[in-house]
Amino acid sequence: MAVKVIFLGPLQDMAGEQERSVAAPLDWDGLLREVGPQIAGQLQDDRVNVACASRVLADKTSLDARDGDEVALLPPVSGG
């Protein structure tokens, strides 16, 4: 039973990988442990969003990923 965590943008550079498979189920605290302290610090930023099963979470701390879900870590979009 696994959840796929997908790192996007600069979070992918920080993680050194595009995706990682972690044990399911996965909640917010588990996600912070699985991604390591550097990315966990980034996830604390209100501008970084988390999507689970293709839906952006209004409250990312309510994450409840189950077997087969994909959790995408979405850094702030910049540009102009």
Domain range enclosing 69:
2-74
51: part of which helix (H) or strand (E)? Answer: strand 49-52
Number of domains in the chain: 1
CA–CA separation, 22 vs 49, rounded Å? 19
pLDDT value for 29: 98
Helical segments of the chain, H only: 10-15, 28-35, 37-43
Residue 80 lies in a domain: no
| This prediction's pTM | 0.93
Looking up residue 57, the CATH number of its domain turns out to be 3.10.20.30
**Domain assignment of residue 79, yes or no:** no
Question: Which tens digits make up the pLDDT trace of 16-64?
Answer: 999 999 999 999 999 999 999 999 999 999 999 999 999 999 999 999 9
